[in-house]
Structure 1
Amino acid sequence: METVYEAAGGDDGLLRLAAAWHERVMADEVVSHAFSHGFHPQHTERLAAYWVEALGGPPAFTSSYGTESAVVWMHSGNGPHEEMDRLAIACFDQALTDVGLTDPVRSVLYEYFAWATNVSMARYHGSKDAVPQDLTVPRWSWDGLVSTSA
């Protein structure tokens, strides 16, 4: 059976999706605030690599860019931001359309992104210091969450 990573177009497909999402986010007045402090010049490539790893591809993110703990740390300590999260998920939904992904992979990717936004990246809103140092990238399959370290 094909992985979600493969069904989404592999490295190239997830890079297109990351670029479409980033473009949508930067055009959104509320969500773009998350990037108001600036962002890594390779943000899109790094995000795509993260999704590659999370969705059943090779460990593209952790072998080249960093750890899950660093990613969660970057998203932590800012307090709850439900409206921004809701809009970020809406941007992702629009990006799925932009790149032409259809069901069943579209639904699985949407569920993954909503879970990552509302659960995985939202666990430590109170303090960056609470983020464990040994987190691993959660893996997602056709059936949902496969593995997570926390």
Structure 2
Amino acid sequence: MTTSLYDHAGGGQALLALAGAHHTRCLADPMLEHPFSHTTNHPEHVARLAAYWAEALGGPDDFSRGLGSQQAVVDMHCVEEDLTEMGRRFVACFVAAMDDAGLPDDAPFRAAMAAYMRWAVAQFTVPGVERPATDGVPRWTWDGLAAG
């Protein structure tokens, strides 16, 4: 594919809708509700999440330029306990939220997006996972993690 996942999704507004739908689904999940209820204290959480995903999926670097850093994301989310089940539910919410947000439903796109989220979740929920050496937000393409 020559277009980025960001562009194929529909750009910034589509990712904002996805982040909002995902957040709503996480709040409705009994296992995810507690950790996600704390994010409601930050009024820009959904917009920041959308900007992060946009950058990761080939969109503008708004997150890195003014909203946060990859290191801050890692520091905030990494744990030393196995949260595999929580991660699985997080991914399921993400996959379902793509429908809620009206993202394209073609199989290659959905597969690439689900693969991204499975990879991203493993970075934070599985102790000892090797994280990419990057100062910026890791970029995900149709074929997986972009090279350095």
Please, what TM-score do these two structures have when normalized by structure 1?
Answer: 0.85
Q: Distance in 1 between matches of 2:38 and 2:53?
A: 23
Q: Deviations over 1:63-92 (max 9, x none)?
A: 121100000111023522111111111101
Aligned residue pairs total 142
Change (3 A) 1:68 1:147: farther
Instruction: Identify the residue that residue 10 of structure 1 maps to in structure 2.
Output: 11
Give aligned-pair identity as a percent: 46
Alignment correspondent of 1:34: 35
Residues 23 and 36 in structure 2, CA contact (< 8 A), matched pair in contact too: no
Q: Which amino acid aligns with 1:8?
A: A
Q: Which residue is equivalent to 2:146?
A: 146
Partner of 2:87: 85
Please state whether the residue corresponding to 2:64 is helix, strand or coil. Answer: coil
Is 1:109 the counterpart of 2:109? The answer is no
1:55 aligns with 2:57: yes
1:147 Cα deviation (Å)? 3.5
Q: Kindly provide the CA deviation profile for residues 15-48 of structure 1, in whole angstroms up to 9, marking residues without a partner as x.
A: 0000000000011110122234444211100000
* Structure 1 gaps, min length 5: none
Q: What is the distance in 2 between the residues matched to 1:10 and 1:21?
A: 16
Instruction: Please give the alpha-carbon distance, in whole angstroms, between the structure 2 residues aligned to 1:86 and 1:140.
Output: 19
Give the TM-score taking structure 2 as reference length. Answer: 0.86
User: Which amino acid counterpart does residue 99 of structure 2 have in structure 1?
Assistant: T
Evaluate the alpha carbon distance shift between residue 36 and residue 20 of structure 1 in structure 2; reply closer, same or farther with a 3 A threshold. closer
- Unpaired segments ≥5 residues, structure 2: none
* Partner residue of 1:121 out of 120, 124, 142: 124
Q: CA RMSD in A?
A: 2.2
